[in-house]
Structure 1
Amino acid sequence: MSIQNLHFFRGLSVLIQVKYELYCHRKAKSNVPKIFQEMVRRHPDKVALIYEATDDKWTFRRLDEFSNSVANFFCQQGFLPGDSIAIFMESRPEFVGLWLGMAKVGIEAALINFNLRLDSLMYCVKTSGAKALIFGGELSAAVAEVNGMLGKNMVKFCSGDMNPESVPSDTKHLDPLLAQASKSPLAQVSPKGLDDRLFYIYTSGTTGMPKAAIVVHSRYYRIAAFGYYAYRMTPNDIIYNCLPLYHSAGR
């Protein structure tokens, strides 16, 4: 058999495997948070994320508990399934925990490029329909520049180091609020299925302003599964992500 045929049949087997798994998840009325929950049940103390800058290691249990606190907090704040919250921060484990926690209750995250400023930043936040903005303390100056254009109803949360003098006066420090929130799973989980919205990503904006692209649960799972099977990965492999987490291939 030729190399070309081997590659063809290898690719076909990967495609069939991924389609079958999606079929099973769809039949089970699953979604990304539910699939993640199964990983937590099976491997609670296995490392899920390694933050290279500090060598901080997050287990599946820790990521689960953090995302539960996110879900509980925003539910208590009155956010509902289908609401959108923008995340504007540099890449670190909390970024994953935030969008995952929102997804657990059906809130849709808008993943904003942390290099954007002024009009481009405002455009992405506004087009997402976000009711709140979570930004990293390292981006306080960028948020302060557009604060007057965000509108009075935009709720602002700062994650990480927060200097009260450098952030808008109505900004809330998210970290202590999440620390006080319950880490227990919510009794009511997201009603969303595989074909519903998970979060928004944005194009690079090389021709005009960045444009929002909808990522549904099945698309997110499909991309991850294709990579896993195509590269013949095992549960013991570690993936080094050199891309920002707002990027379609980095998330």
Structure 2
Amino acid sequence: MRLGRYSDVLQGIAEASPDRPAIVSRDRRLTYRRLAEEAGAVARYLQQCGVRPGDSVALYCYNRPEFLVVLHACLATGVAPVPINFRYRATELRDLLRDSAARVLVHPASLGSVAAEAASALDRPPARLQLDDDGTEPPAGTNPPDGEAAAAVAYRDVVAEPGELPATPPPGGELRLYTGGTTGRPRAVVWDADHLLEGKLFSIYTLAGLEVPETVEEAVAIAADGTPRVATLPLAPFMHGTALFTSLNTLVLGGTVIVHATPHLDAEEALRQIHDEGATRLVLAGDAVALPLLTVAEQAPAGLGQVRSVLSSGMRLSDETKRRLHALAELSIVDLLAATEGGPFATAVSHGVDDVPAGLRLMADAAVLDDDDAEVQHRVGALGRLAFRGALPKGYLRDEAKTRAAFPVIGGRRYVVPGDWVRVLDDDGHIELLGRGSAVVNTGGEKVYPAEVEQALLDHPYVADAVVFGSPDPRFGEAVTAVVVSAVGASIGLDDLADHLGRRLAGYKKPRHVLVRDSLRRSAHGKVDLASLKQEAAAELLETRQAHR
């Protein structure tokens, strides 16, 4: 049998090494046998719900062992798993449920109110599979419609009844990952599940110093050997490709995924898991995750324990943070430049303090395209758009026009071109990232499109005008910042404005800074001098910080 699917290898490991720990969290420990058993039970439940190959199952939850169980069940049965940002509110969730045509919605009990509200607004509400969690209260403003909360089926009841996975998945399976993109409307990037594993062989095996297997049997034998031991703690959410794929890759190697099962980072709990479970690999989302972890790790005698590699993607991991990580352990840091649509495009790798700063270097399948779509990555000093021509997704779900734009065929080869501009620095493939030709704000690894936030601000009766942009932030890379103008005769209450936005936007989209002005000084064409406004905002924010010291 050729090597083609994650689920084939995982089922093989369940037979060859059934008692090996596959997924562990604070409250649960799943062996590979138990992972297969629970996935089989979930597969039976999905079939009873009328879910067929090609249908979508939405995963609206933070990192939990059950997330990976449902993911395995979907991939093994040809059903398309659809991770969705657990920070979304009901209206945002509803739009993605409708867009993905989800037949089942998986969510924790603490988000039951949001899930019920979103599902009830659809003409064809999905069935709801509810996970137990710690009883965290749902966000304010998300009360469920009467009688809706009781409609969910408990996950614990589903897995109490046996079920089986098919010997191998039907062809044509997909993984659908939503990306915020730069248009304000999330789009699902469709990956071909039949060939997904084949596109990850380099990162799974070659980087670990292992021979690349050619069959499922060879992959299972490598996993059964268990060398090197891999125990991965993703501190970035599974809804992001890096954490999701790294976790799947860990399981394919017969390793253990350590799940930080909480909607918010608990740095002390994460460090305890690092030590107690012997984590060897961490997945971070830049300084937003690394800095709180460092604060507690630097006070611990064992530092970062057995961690030997750190993978970060989605936002800036500063040089100072890298130095602090290297000071705690003998580890390698891979700072990854990637996108939901493909990659990795480039990496900055450091093995110790002396390697910092480490510049971004193009991966083998990456390219730089000039204005004529010619590859210029071998021309020192060239400017161009970053591109990738390795393993790529099919495109965007039901959006052929945007698929053609983002995945052009040039000279007979298919690329993904996300829009980042770079400068080629040397003959070794080092590049300088110049930025994206859009106003998207990257805060803590989350993409925020200003137009969406501006519209939410303008929906407030006391806001006459608004503009949103990113301001530098030492932890999150950028902080969402809004400059607003009061309506004539009105006075904007910032607490009231925050409550207003909280009912419409996910928390990470809400402006961290709100500045009130008499006017945005728009030109005759309605344009705002954004550069000047950013400078003024930066000066005001700096003055405020200094005043509070």
Shared fold (TM-score greater than 0.5)?
yes
Q: Which amino acid aligns with 2:191?
A: V
Residue aligning to 2:53 = 81
Task: Name the CA shift for 1:148/1:74 in 2 (closer, same or farther; >3 Å).
Answer: closer
SS of 2:2's equivalent in the other structure is helix
Higher Cα radius of gyration? 2
Q: Does 1:47 align with 2:21?
A: yes
Q: Which amino acid aligns with 2:158?
A: L
Aligned partners of 1:132 and 1:155 also within 8 Å? yes
SS of 2:231's equivalent in the other structure is coil
Two-structure CA RMSD over aligned residues (Å) = 2.7
Q: Does 1:246 align with 2:214?
A: no
Distance across 2 between alignment mates of 1:147 and 1:214: 23
Q: Which amino acid aligns with 1:120?
A: E
Structure 1 residue 124: Cα displacement: 1.6
Distance across 2 between alignment mates of 1:55 and 1:133: 23
Task: Name the CA shift for 1:119/1:104 in 2 (closer, same or farther; >3 Å).
Answer: same
Q: Does 1:119 align with 2:98?
A: no
Task: Name the CA shift for 1:34/1:121 in 2 (closer, same or farther; >3 Å).
Answer: same
Q: Which amino acid aligns with 1:181?
A: E
1:146-185 CA-to-partner distances (Å, cap 9, x unmatched) read 244233542222221589x9672452223243134214x3
Task: Name the CA shift for 1:214/1:173 in 2 (closer, same or farther; >3 Å).
Answer: same
1:2-34 CA-to-partner distances (Å, cap 9, x unmatched) read xxxxxxxxxxxxxxxxxxxxx932xxxx52221
Higher relative contact order (CA 8 A, sep 6+): 1
Distance across 1 between alignment mates of 2:29 and 2:237: 18
Structure 1 residue 235: Cα displacement: 4.1
Task: Name the CA shift for 1:55/1:217 in 2 (closer, same or farther; >3 Å).
Answer: same
Structure 1 residue 101: Cα displacement: 0.9
Aligned partners of 1:113 and 1:246 also within 8 Å? yes
Structure 1 counterpart of 2:205, from 225, 229, 240: 229
Q: Does 1:199 align with 2:175?
A: yes
1:52-85 CA-to-partner distances (Å, cap 9, x unmatched) read xx16332111111110111122223332111111
For structure 2, list consecutive stretches of 5 or more residues without a partner in the other structure.
138-142, 210-226, 245-549
Aligned partners of 1:120 and 1:210 also within 8 Å? no
Residue aligning to 1:220 = 196
Q: Which amino acid aligns with 1:201?
A: L
Task: Name the CA shift for 1:246/1:216 in 2 (closer, same or farther; >3 Å).
Answer: same
Higher strand share: 2
Matching of residues 118-137 of structure 1 within 5 Å: 118-137=90-109
Residue aligning to 2:31 = 59
Structure 1 residue 187: Cα displacement: 5.5
1:82-141 CA-to-partner distances (Å, cap 9, x unmatched) read 111111111111000012112222211111111112332222211111122121112123
Aligned partners of 2:73 and 2:165 also within 8 Å? no
Q: Which amino acid aligns with 1:168?
A: E
TM-score (norm 1): 0.75
Q: Does 1:110 align with 2:86?
A: no
Aligned residues: 218
Q: Which amino acid aligns with 1:47?
A: P
Aligned partners of 1:197 and 1:214 also within 8 Å? no
Residue aligning to 2:152 = 172
Task: Name the CA shift for 1:67/1:158 in 2 (closer, same or farther; >3 Å).
Answer: same
For structure 1, list consecutive stretches of 5 or more residues without a partner in the other structure.
1-22
Distance across 1 between alignment mates of 2:27 and 2:104: 30
Residue aligning to 2:112 = 140
Aligned partners of 1:137 and 1:159 also within 8 Å? yes
Q: Which amino acid aligns with 2:62?
A: E
Q: Does 1:93 align with 2:86?
A: no
Identity %: 24
